[in-house]
A and B are shown apart, each in its own frame.
Chain A
Amino acid sequence: MKPFTNHVKQLFEEYSASLCSPDGFGEVRRKALSCFLQKGLPDKKTQGWQKSALERKVRNNYSLKLKPDEYRPLEEFFKCRIHDLNPIALPMLNGWFVPKEDDPCSQGIIACGLINAMQNHPNLTLPLVQHQNIDKENGLTALNEALFSDGVFIHIPDNTKVEIPFQIVSIVNTKDNCLINNKFIISLGKNAEATLIHCDDSIERESSFTNNVTEVFMGENSRLNYYKTENKDTDSILVNSLFVHQQSGSKFRSTAITFNAGFVCNIFNVNLNKPYAEAELNGLYLVDKQQSCDNHIFINHAAPDCVSRQMYKGIMDDEASANFHGHILVAPDSQRTAAFQTNRNLLLTDKAHVTTKPFLEIYADDVQCSHGATVGQLDEEALYYLRTRGIGEAAANRLLMFAFANDIVQNVEIEALRDRLSNMVQHRLQGELNVCSQCMLSDDITFPIKL
């Protein structure tokens, strides 16, 4: 047994009694643990993980946060100051949901902490909490199910459109080396529509390992716009496994942007289960120093007449590395599938590294599929053109890099968020961005929780 696997086993033996396990959920956790013990973390032998930095970065001395920090109203420690955004805030602090005194939701909409939902809405929540086929996934999903402390539950009833975006902010701010497992369940009824922004920010002094699982259940003709931003310390590990389950006619659209990463890994698993479902996945990763970012995307075309589009771009500077693994599976009966995948990368130094692997597995004959991957430097002709107009080499480089990256940001539909992200990309490329400056967390002085 590898040291980390053994470490998890010990943590579970010691603390599992303290984890929330209503209605026999303890059995679910035990099953998940044994699944994890069998699989361990994905390693060099795992398909698509050969070049991943996870094993190298993981430690064996994590502690669990078994209960939330002392309650403080949200306003005291967090505010997203993006002008005109005004979301329904769903903050997570060190692995625990921070409730608000007044519930902003009405009309049967639920947006609350996961443990709260498991206790107060068991009929809606419990059937969705347990991952459907945990043996099929890599060990990270099982690890999450065995040890998750809390999370968020969002339920949008049939025929309900929520105009205001939900914003989950996962904050890690602790001196301990924490292993945090959170689960986010988003359930949309028929014709329901919502927008979810999920920011992962940390101002850690120590290195933590956050292992999140998000499950999205999309009813017929529902819509979800999902925005994921990641801005983590150089020492931290963050894994986000997203599972999307789509019914017919549903549309899932995501934009995932990794600004800074110790090691960030996005595992997006999209299941187009019924006809006419559509998924559009856009991603951007900007890493430098010795940061590392992996994207594993699996699109399962399990029904005919579905559409999927992926556009992922990355810029690697210094000694940073990235890994893109995109798998499209088209089942034998999934005729008239349209599936497109593009991954483009810029390497700014000789020591930066990217591995990109598009992988199409097609068993139907009437399909329209394409994939393309490029790894390159900035366009010399374009640089020359900019310089002939008086723009210095450094500024010309920045302008082209910004153009390359901003292309992804342009997919963001909320104007205030788009402008903010665009601005963050610009600062990131000038090496000036550590955390989102509109997140009150970035400012230590206004952060009242003393640790």
Chain B
Amino acid sequence: MLKIDNLHVSIKEREILKGVNLEVKAGEVHAIMGPNGTGKSTLASAIAGKQGYEVTQGSVWFKGKNLLDLSIEDRAREGVFIGFQYPVEIPGVSIANFMRTALNEIRKYRGLDPLNGAQFLKLMTEKQKVVELTDKLSNRSVNEGFSGGEKKRNEIFQMALLDPSLAILDETDSGLDIDALRVVANGINHLRGEDKAIVVITHYQRLLDYIVPDVVHVLFDGKIVKSGPKELALELEERGYDWIKDEYEKNKI
């Protein structure tokens, strides 16, 4: 479903990603871990198409199309969802209005008729339950005055509603208490399916107690330096990242 080939990304001429290779097949859940500042969020932003993230080399294939050739919105319309670490606040735009506009723009791109008010409302009510989001919250402006947990829950709600084929979740677990973590994890598991793929970017093992990954990758110095089964996450939790660094430095020499 997703195939990243030798991806190099620079921000203001500083190279952050130095040749990332990653393949995610339909039905799989991958976790990307790694210490701070190694390029995890840059990877998510580059896939989203954020301005200022310059791809100097490589390609990102998604269902046979190179995402890098598409506009930000077309990447989303093709079925890619990015869950943000720090979702922005948009005063004056209600979540309902936001999501209805998004959903109908996506449907238009796919040649489907727009949902009318009643159809949308039904869908929204259904998806709200997935993340235990109250009506009160969905009538509020997007993320405005939301707590950290509410913002993350709102990201998962948007994901549930837009029903993407590929979700890349950038530290969706950071700043969550144990209850919010459970809700967010349930939301993510809700999306799992044979024709779906999920990439979870995280610092901690604890999210992976709820969302069991098929593969765990370690991103270090702009590259994926180690990949392994779910047990790798436990090992990282226990031993930290120093041994990865040592191994990487040794191999470099």
Give the number of A-B contacts (CB < 8 Å): 71
- Determine if A390 and B162 form an interchain contact, defined as CB atoms under 8 angstroms apart: yes
A399 within 8 A of B: yes
From residue 393 to 436 of chain A, which have CB atoms closer than 8 A to chain B? 393, 395-396, 399-400, 402-404, 406-407
B158 within 8 A of A: yes
> Which stretch of A21-29, A303-311, A376-384, A438-446 is in the interface?
A376-384
In the complex formed, the residue of B with least CB distance to A398 is B101
Give the docked Cα–Cα distance between A396 and B158 (Å): 16
- Determine if A390 and B73 form an interchain contact, defined as CB atoms under 8 angstroms apart: yes
Inter-chain contacts of B87 with A (CB < 8 A): 385
User: Closest approach, in angstroms, between the C-beta of A80 and any C-beta of chain B?
Assistant: 26
Inter-chain contacts of A385 with B (CB < 8 A): 84, 87-88, 90
> Which stretch of B18-26, B55-63, B102-110, B227-235 is in the interface?
B102-110
Inter-chain contacts of B141 with A (CB < 8 A): 403
- Determine if B51 and A392 form an interchain contact, defined as CB atoms under 8 angstroms apart: no
- Determine if A389 and B90 form an interchain contact, defined as CB atoms under 8 angstroms apart: no
Given A380-B51, A385-B84: A390 and B90 interface contact (C-beta under 8 Å): no
Inter-chain contacts of A402 with B (CB < 8 A): 92-93
User: Closest approach, in angstroms, between the C-beta of A49 and any C-beta of chain B?
Assistant: 32
Q: B82 contacts which of A381, A388, A392 (Cβ < 8 Å)?
A: A388
Give the docked Cα–Cα distance between A404 and B105 (Å): 21
- Determine if B91 and A403 form an interchain contact, defined as CB atoms under 8 angstroms apart: yes
- Determine if B105 and A391 form an interchain contact, defined as CB atoms under 8 angstroms apart: yes
B224 within 8 A of A: no
- Determine if B92 and A388 form an interchain contact, defined as CB atoms under 8 angstroms apart: no
In the complex formed, the residue of A with least CB distance to B106 is A390
B50 within 8 A of A: yes
- Determine if B88 and A382 form an interchain contact, defined as CB atoms under 8 angstroms apart: yes
User: Closest approach, in angstroms, between the C-beta of B141 and any C-beta of chain A?
Assistant: 8
Given A391-B105, A393-B73: A386 and B98 interface contact (C-beta under 8 Å): yes
Q: Per-residue CB proximity of B39-51 to A under 8 Å, as 1/0? A: 0000000001111
User: Closest approach, in angstroms, between the C-beta of A236 and any C-beta of chain B?
Assistant: 31
Given A389-B158, A390-B105: A404 and B72 interface contact (C-beta under 8 Å): no
B153 within 8 A of A: no
From residue 51 to 82 of chain B, which have CB atoms closer than 8 A to chain A? 51, 71-73, 75-77, 82
Give the docked Cα–Cα distance between A392 and B75 (Å): 11
The count of residues in chain A whose C-beta lies closer than 8 Å to any C-beta of chain B is: 23
Give the docked Cα–Cα distance between A402 and B105 (Å): 17
Inter-chain contacts of A406 with B (CB < 8 A): 92
Inter-chain contacts of B72 with A (CB < 8 A): 384, 387-388
Inter-chain contacts of B88 with A (CB < 8 A): 379, 381-382, 385
- Determine if A386 and B90 form an interchain contact, defined as CB atoms under 8 angstroms apart: yes
Give the docked Cα–Cα distance between A294 and B75 (Å): 43
Given A384-B51, A391-B102: A403 and B90 interface contact (C-beta under 8 Å): yes
Give the docked Cα–Cα distance between A404 and B93 (Å): 9
User: Closest approach, in angstroms, between the C-beta of B26 and any C-beta of chain A?
Assistant: 21
From residue 354 to 388 of chain A, which have CB atoms closer than 8 A to chain B? 379-382, 384-388
Give the docked Cα–Cα distance between A379 and B92 (Å): 13
- Determine if B76 and A390 form an interchain contact, defined as CB atoms under 8 angstroms apart: yes
Give the docked Cα–Cα distance between A403 and B88 (Å): 14
- Determine if A391 and B101 form an interchain contact, defined as CB atoms under 8 angstroms apart: yes
- Determine if B51 and A389 form an interchain contact, defined as CB atoms under 8 angstroms apart: no
Inter-chain contacts of A390 with B (CB < 8 A): 73, 76-77, 102-103, 105-106, 109, 162
In the complex formed, the residue of B with least CB distance to A393 is B73
Q: B50 contacts which of A384, A391, A396 (Cβ < 8 Å)?
A: A384
Q: Per-residue CB proximity of B201-218 to A under 8 Å, as 1/0? A: 000000000000000000
In the complex formed, the residue of A with least CB distance to B93 is A403
Inter-chain contacts of B76 with A (CB < 8 A): 387-390
User: Closest approach, in angstroms, between the C-beta of B69 and any C-beta of chain A?
Assistant: 16
- Determine if B73 and A399 form an interchain contact, defined as CB atoms under 8 angstroms apart: no
Give the docked Cα–Cα distance between A236 and B106 (Å): 43
15 contacts between A and B (CB under 8 A): A379-B90, A384-B50, A384-B51, A384-B72, A385-B90, A388-B75, A389-B158, A390-B76, A391-B73, A391-B101, A400-B93, A403-B90, A403-B91, A403-B92, A407-B91
Q: List the 7 shortest-distance A-B pairs measured between CB atoms, nearest first.
A: A403-B92, A390-B76, A389-B102, A387-B72, A390-B106, A403-B93, A387-B73
Kindly list 11 other residue pairs between chains A and B, CB separation below 8 angstroms, not including A388-B48, A388-B75: A385-B84, A386-B90, A388-B76, A389-B98, A389-B102, A390-B77, A390-B106, A391-B98, A391-B101, A399-B101, A403-B93
